[in-house]
Amino acid sequence: MDHEVLAVRYDVLVDVQLRGGIADPAGATIERALPALGYDGVAGVTVGKTVRFTIEATDEAEARSRSEDMCSSFLTNPVIEDAIVTVALVGDGSNA
C-alpha cells in the first residue's frame, strides 16, 4: 500500500530589513520629516519591504525551508539585508 503525502498550503510573510550598519536614506528622510509634521519623539525609523505569498509543502518545516531558500537566492540581498520568515497554514489568520 503506497502512502501519498499530501501538500498543504501555507501563507508566508517575509519581512526584509537592511542589516545593522547599512545606511537607510529613506528611513532617515522620514525620521527628519516627522517633527515638521507634528510627530515628535519618533526615532529609529527604518524602511524595508514585505513579500507575501502562498506555498505548497508537506509540512511547516518544508514550507519554511523552501521560503528561506528563496530569500537567500532571490528575494533578498543577503549581503545587506536580513529577512524574518513567518509561516502559517492558509486561513489561520496569522499572516494577514
The residue extents of the domains of the chain are 8-89
5-62 pLDDT per residue, tens: 788 999 999 999 999 999 999 999 999 999 999 999 999 999 999 999 999 999 999 9
pLDDT at 16: 97
Q: How far apart are CA 82 and CA 46, in angstroms?
A: 13
- How far, in Å, CA of 16 to CA of 82, rounded? 6
Q: Nearest 5°: CA angle at 67, between 3 and 20? A: 155
pLDDT at residue 96, rounded to an integer: 45
Whether the Cβ atoms of residue 27 and residue 20 lie closer than 8 Å to each other: no
Report yes or no: 66 and 55 within 8 Å, Cβ to Cβ.
Answer: yes
Residue-level pLDDT at 77: 94
pLDDT class of 91 with cuts at 50, 70, 90:
confident
- CATH architecture, domain 8-89: 2-Layer Sandwich (3.30)
pLDDT per residue as tens digits for the range 49-89: 999 999 999 999 999 999 999 999 999 999 999 999 999 99
State the DSSP H helix or E strand holding residue 89, giving kind and residue range, or none if neither: strand 81-89
Whole-model pTM? 0.81
